[in-house]
Amino acid sequence: MDLVVESISGLHRTHCCGELGTIDTGKEVTLMGWVHRRRDHGGLIFIDLRDRSGLVQVVCDPEAGTAFKKAEEVRNEYVVAVRGNVRLRPEGTANPRLATGDIEVEARELRILNPAKTPPFYIEDDIAVDEALRLRYRYLDLRRPEMQDIMHLRYRTTRAIRDFLDGRGFWEIETPMLTRSTPEGARDFLVPSRLRPGEFFALPQSPQLFKQILMVAGIERYFQIVRCFRDEDLRADRQPEFTQLDMEMSFIQREDILNLVEELMAYVFRETLGVEIDLPLPRLTYKEAITRYGTDKPDLRFGLEIFDVSDVVGGCGFKVFADAVAKGGVVRGLCVPGGAGFSRRELDELTQQAVTSGAKGLAWMALAAGEIRSPIAKFFTGEGLQELVARAGGREGELLLFVADNETVAASVLGSLRLELGRRLHLYDPEQLAFTWVTDFPLLEYSPEEKRYVAVHHPFTMPMEEDWPLLDIEPLKVRALAYDLVLNGVELGGGSIRIHRRDIQEKMFSLLGFSPEEAQEKFGFLLEAFEYGTPPHGGIAFGLDRMIMLMARRDTIRDCIAFPKTQSGTCLMTAAPSTVAPEQLLELHLKTTARPAGKQYSTGKA
């Protein structure tokens, strides 16, 4: 029998598959969806019909006539309409693993609305399939329930954000996608102007300048859920286009923003996940975070804090430690529970990781029963050893790890070891949500490449008032009114109180090495706006994709974006980017110096 594709006409969907239950017994329903699976018993055919809401079993009996005939033709992922009656399943055939497992739909009419090719992978959760294939066939990947759940979670999250902010008097305002390239920050994506030969727009890295100008404009409370673009290399949690929740408020101070954001987070997590977040959220200063956790985005799901023994090893017999302290560095370490039992190989791996992240070496002491095993124990007196162990807080069965270096290196090495050990030793509950604020970031850091100071946050960040006197003396010691929100070791977002005073802004530019002319050239429109009555203001921006990633417990934001790019910045479904017709380039007054050679985006198979 030739496959007959039929019209939807005359049929109206009455229910969704997943919402049917025993309460619907006896009703005539019309369902539309995809054939999830077909079980053909020769004289009886079962079809699991799937739509966005779930699955329901459809039974086709030979007595149903043409419906049975058509059920024989149907294959996986065919799009069909079924009209029939809901009935309780016969005694003993209910399926408790299926939400609709107590009932089934007895097909009276079956229409094949569209056939389908056999998909390259299963349309179900937990598939083990090459991600490239999923991206090539993203529309099939997105049919899988777990992906639909994430897309739905994302929608529910943005809806909750809008609800909350609307209730707090925020207005959502759109800002341009075609804007001006600005210095500082990431590499811009450029868009050539056809009407202005040789000139370019840039896609926004964030709406930063526009939202500040909206404050000058008297909007007072602005937010936007907005696409941002940064032409930098990709990571599991970084895409060239990503979505920010961007906010800005006038007439507020830091506390106002932190409090508001905490309530926002509590609201969103309650509404979407049903999770209660304890407020207020913990706060760490940047300095505390670096000292205790070795990073400015600490994972507070577990302790394993860094200790400092610099003052007790100053004059010790172990030259590596003593020299580090003498040169103004530090000796810090970790006290690893259960680590005394680590094998030689495990210690080598940790050492390797320490070296990879910048350490010159890793010293260790295993606090075994009644003895201390350590290659460096011999450099210490018995008393010195006791003091060291005591200061590290080491107890029997534990392993002490030491890094001696300058403060920056020691922090980053121990920070990465801490994370690795946390993972290895299962020191935390993966289900836990540990938020923390990190505040008081430095205003500036020195860039050896550019041989000048650069803004840690951005050039419009307000220095803390009590540090203003340091601006001229020790700029690197100036703290900023900048803050990050961190969740489980992931930077969710960051913001600052902005400079609204001209004199401070000028000081900032001069510290960054901009002459007044350069500042005018680069940010003139903003500076001009600031001359017309700028309210004190500040704001914050969140990476929505990362937030969804953590809420959905995924390892990459690619799973939280409907159509993401690969690590090399391409789209495997559309094969973007691509070459364009020579006429297009001509219109844009462009000539390329390169020609992409033998580009191939298929997965290698036809």
Q: Rule CB under 7 A: which of 472-531 touch RNA?
A: none
Q: Does 605 bind RNA (CB under 7 A)?
A: yes
Beta bridge partners of residue 88, listed in sequence order: 103
* In the complex, minimum distance from the CB of residue 5 to RNA, in angstroms, rounded to a whole number: 16
Q: Binding to RNA (CB under 7 A): which residues in 40-59?
A: 40-44, 46, 48, 57, 59
Query: Cβ atoms within 10 A of the Cβ of 232, count?
Result: 12
Inter-residue contact 136 to 602 (CB < 8 Å): yes
Of 90-98, 150-158, 284-292, 470-478, which part binds RNA (CB under 7 A)?
A: 90-98
Nearer Cβ to RNA (133/464): 133
Of 388-396, 509-517, 522-530, 593-601, which part binds RNA (CB under 7 A)?
A: 593-601
Number of residues that bind RNA (CB under 7 A): 74
CA 540 to each of CA 160, 207, 243, 498, 560: distance values in angstroms, whole numbers, following the listed order? 18, 11, 14, 10, 22
Q: Binding to RNA (CB under 7 A): which residues in 242-281?
A: none
Kind of pairing, strands 171-172 and 221-229? parallel
Nearer Cβ to RNA (44/586): 44
Q: What is the DSSP string of 191-238?
A: EE-SSSTT-EEE--S-SHHHHHHHHHTT--EEEEEEEEE--S--BTTB
Q: Binding to RNA (CB under 7 A): which residues in 569-588?
A: 570, 572
Nearer Cβ to RNA (351/603): 603
Residues ≥6 apart with Cβ < 8 Å to 82: 30, 31, 32, 47, 49, 58, 105, 107, 109, 110, 111
Q: What is the DSSP string of 70-90?
A: HHHH--TT-EEEEEEEEEEPP
* In the complex, minimum distance from the CB of residue 556 to RNA, in angstroms, rounded to a whole number: 4
Nearer Cβ to RNA (218/604): 604
Q: How far apart are the C-alpha atoms of 566 and 570, rounded to whole Å?
A: 5
Residue in 6, 61, 146, 172 binding RNA, rule: CB under 7 A:
61
Residue in 220, 556, 573, 585 binding RNA, rule: CB under 7 A:
556
| Whether the bond into 442 is cis, omega within 30 of 0 | no
Q: How far apart are the C-alpha atoms of 600 and 502, rounded to whole Å?
A: 53
Of 185-193, 376-384, 505-513, 518-526, which part binds RNA (CB under 7 A)?
A: 185-193
User: What per-residue string of b and e applies to 391-427 under the rule 16 or more CB within 10 Å gives b?
Assistant: bbebeeebbbbbbbbeeebbbbbbbbbbbebbeeeeb
Burial (CB < 10 A; 0-12, 13-18, 19+), residue 527, is: middle
Kind of pairing, strands 330-336 and 371-373? unpaired
Nearer Cβ to RNA (186/279): 186
Q: How far apart are the C-alpha atoms of 492 and 547, rounded to whole Å?
A: 6
Residue in 19, 166, 232, 311 binding RNA, rule: CB under 7 A:
232
- H helical segments located in 393-450: 407-424
* In the complex, minimum distance from the CB of residue 94 to RNA, in angstroms, rounded to a whole number: 6
Question: Which of 207, 181, 185 has the alpha carbon at shortest distance from 193?
Answer: 181
* In the complex, minimum distance from the CB of residue 42 to RNA, in angstroms, rounded to a whole number: 2
Q: Does 172 bind RNA (CB under 7 A)?
A: no
Residue in 568, 581, 591, 594 binding RNA, rule: CB under 7 A:
568
Nearer Cβ to RNA (118/593): 118
Nearer Cβ to RNA (195/594): 594
Q: Does 85 bind RNA (CB under 7 A)?
A: no
Q: Binding to RNA (CB under 7 A): which residues in 92-151?
A: 92-95, 97-98, 101, 104, 118, 120-121, 127-133, 135
Q: How far apart are the C-alpha atoms of 603 and 600, rounded to whole Å?
A: 8
Q: Does 567 bind RNA (CB under 7 A)?
A: yes
Residue in 5, 190, 236, 586 binding RNA, rule: CB under 7 A:
236
* In the complex, minimum distance from the CB of residue 90 to RNA, in angstroms, rounded to a whole number: 5
- Phi-psi region for residue 54, left (φ > 0), alpha (ψ -120 to 50) or beta? left
Residue in 52, 89, 156, 424 binding RNA, rule: CB under 7 A:
89
Nearer Cβ to RNA (104/299): 104
Of 24-32, 183-191, 247-255, 258-266, which part binds RNA (CB under 7 A)?
A: 183-191
Q: How far apart are the C-alpha atoms of 379 and 401, rounded to whole Å?
A: 16
Nearer Cβ to RNA (232/311): 232
Nearer Cβ to RNA (136/292): 136
